[in-house]
Amino acid sequence: MAGSDTTAQASADRSAPDTVKILIAGGFGVGKTTMVGSVSEIAPLRTEEPLTMAGLDVDDLDGVEEKRATTVAMDFGRITVSDDLVLYLFGTPGQQRFWFMWNDLALGALGAVVLVDVRRPKSSFAAIDFFERRNIPFVIAVNGFHGEHPYPVEDIRESLTLPESVPVLLCDARERESSRDVLIALIDRLIAQAAPAG
């Protein structure tokens, strides 16, 4: 897009879009990056933050090797919603010990998708708890292993002790349309909450 003819054209091209974000959360290895990648218009990008820079106290100073390995990786993708609005999807760091980063991530997010692995639903308990405590709207997306869903939604809802108000969807995070439908379900929940009752 280099080399615009007129300055008017250039300044129109260069006007920055508004941005919003949605978090894709869930336990380690549940398919967060897969979901980001299946709907993103770009291959998922990764940022790595050394923990020492993220403000964590390092009490073990002999361990240069330890420090070297300690980075938090975060994968994210992008969906251009319209000319002037871009949606970013951030996969939250899965391991529990990196949760201090979630507060920053959650700030200003529209809402969250909590991915649940049918084989290990408990690994997403902590994520559910995080969003419930902070009153951040979320939907549950049950990611089927190889796209298979052996359990009905109601069983999963019960095992996660979720209230009726939280939508539970079955999905295949590898599929663009399936992941898109999960995001739409989240937005629908937000719209329902925003619209005047009735």
Partner 1 sequence: MGGSDSAGRLVRPFTLTGGRTRPSRADFTLITTVTAADPQPETAARPQPEHLRILRLCAEPVAVAELAARLDLPVSVVVIMLCDLLEAGRITAHPPHPVTRTTPDLDLLQKVREGLGRL
* Residues that bind partner 1 in the complex, under the rule CB under 8 A: 1-2, 10, 13-21, 39, 45-50, 52-54, 64, 67-68, 71, 76, 78-82, 85-88, 90, 105, 107-110, 135, 176-177, 180, 183-184, 187-188, 190-191, 193-195
Contact 26, 114 (CB under 8 A): yes
Quick one: 62 or 164, whose CB is closer to partner 1? 62
Spatial separation of the C-alpha atoms in residues 64 and 46, rounded to whole Å: 24
Q: How far is the CB of 155 from partner 1 (least distance, A)?
A: 28
**Smaller CB separation from partner 1, 194 or 197:** 194
The least CB distance from residue 120 to partner 1, in Å, is 28
51's CB contacts (< 8 A; 6+ apart) are: 58, 67, 70, 71, 72
When the beta carbons of 29 and 184 are compared against partner 1, the nearer one is 184
Smaller CB separation from partner 1, 100 or 107: 107
For residues 182 and 31, give the distance between their C-alpha atoms in angstroms, rounded to a whole number: 14
| Residue 72: CB minimum distance to partner 1, A | 9
Give the β-pairing of 71-82 and 168-171: unpaired
In sequence order, which residues have a C-beta less than 8 Å from that of residue 182 and are 6 or more positions away? 35, 113, 139, 141, 169, 171
Measured CA distances, 33 to 27, 67, 101 (Å): 12, 25, 17
Q: Which is nearer to partner 1, 77 or 121 (CB)?
A: 77
Residue 34 CB, shortest distance to partner 1, in Å, is 16
